Amino acid sequence: MITKILRGLPFLSILFLVQSNSSAETEFEIAAFSGGCFWCMEAPFEKLEGAAEVISGYTGGHKENPAYEEVSSGGTGHVEAIQVIYDPDRITYSELLDFFWKQIDPTDPGGQFVDRGAQYKTAIFYHNEEQRRLAEKSKLELEKSGRFDKPIVTEILKASVFYKAEEYHQDYYKKSHLKYKFYRFNSGRDQYLRKIWGKFIKPSKEELKKRLTPLQYQVTQEGATEKPFDNEYWNNQKDGIYVDIVSGEPLFSSTDKFESKTGWPSFTKPLEPDNLAEKADRGLFMVRTEVRSSHGDSHLGHVFKDGPQPIGLRYCINSAALHFIPKEDLKKRGYEKYGKLFEK
């Protein structure tokens, strides 16, 4: 357990003693973000592997020890924010940044969703130069992604004094579960996030390491290639669809699968072209076209121009990057729209 959390301290990096049977010490670091209502920011961050504690509070204002009523009225210059105390050996600051962007509308300069005013603006508060560098890099990558058709207005600011909010605000999503769910739904936050990011989101690195087998992780995250003729789906002849093992996004259908005699699952075309991304692969002293999933960013395999006509393509995919859903399970797994592919 963390022995001490100090209120109102301008943290740079803090050593927390973690009590355990082995008396080991773990150095935790601090990240701070604002994204509108702190209830809606605290809840998702607390579920991250490697986040030891998430605190709701206030920062960036001119009054010491502000009260909620003062901040929410906009009279103190503070924003509602969260402070994330995390283990950098289990989750990186870059992963926290990626997760942060998926919780907010970074194009809204006037607040967040139903909460309006500067006290609900979005910002990243950096505690050292490395955090600042990574935050600026992450923001630039988001701007270049083309995901938003309006400018990214989220600020990157030097961290200042962080004041812990009143106790009834901490873990509000647990203490007042029904009120929180009602508020969150009616705020429009989740509806917006689904529209922008879809339901297929890449989990954190730590979560993937727990969920995936070593081979699945090596293939999808490190670009490895599994052995031919010694993998799960190379000879699978059942009807169904293949989804990304990481994100669950639909990739291929058995209706487009063919025997390529290569020892890997091969397909003539993708099930959902928008769920695939292609990039040049210059490894192995040749130029090939790598295939990755759009949302999960998983390495899947490669596409070649030696497939059967009339299309002439061969998507050569690692079984370790795929999860097969048989046609009889499509509805219960949320992929019922693809059932029509197998209707006779």
Active-site entry in 32, 37, 85, 321: 37
β-pair partners for 241? 253, 325
- The beta-carbon contacts of 139-146 under 8 Å, at least 24 apart in sequence, are 142/101, 142/106
> How many Å apart are CA 313 and CA 308, to the nearest integer?
7
Find out whether 55 and 46 touch, Cβ atoms under 8 Å.
no
Residue 234 CA to residue 239 CA, distance in Å, equals 14
Which backbone phi and psi does 43 adopt, to 5 degrees?
A: -60, -55
The enclosing H or E element of 111 equals: strand 111-112
Annotation marks residue 40 as catalytic: no
What are phi and psi for residue 314, nearest 5 degrees? -130, 105
Measure the CA–CA gap between 141 and 7, rounded to whole angstroms: 34
Note whether 26 and 2 are within 8 A (CB).
Answer: no
Structure tokens at 278: 């292609």
Residue tagged active-site, from 291, 316, 317, 320: 316
| 45-56: burial string, b at 16+ Cβ within 10 Å, e else | bbebbbbbbbbb
DSSP state of 90: T
Q: Answer whether 136's CB lies under 8 Å from 21's CB.
A: no
Residues 6 or more apart in contact with residue 102 via CB below 8 angstroms: 193, 197, 201
- Comparing CA positions, the residue from 130, 135, 141 lying closest to residue 157 is 135
Following DSSP, what letter does each residue of 266-312 receive, concatenated? EESS-SSGGGEEEEEE--TTS-EEEEEETTT--EEEEEES-S-TTT-
Active-site positions?
37, 316
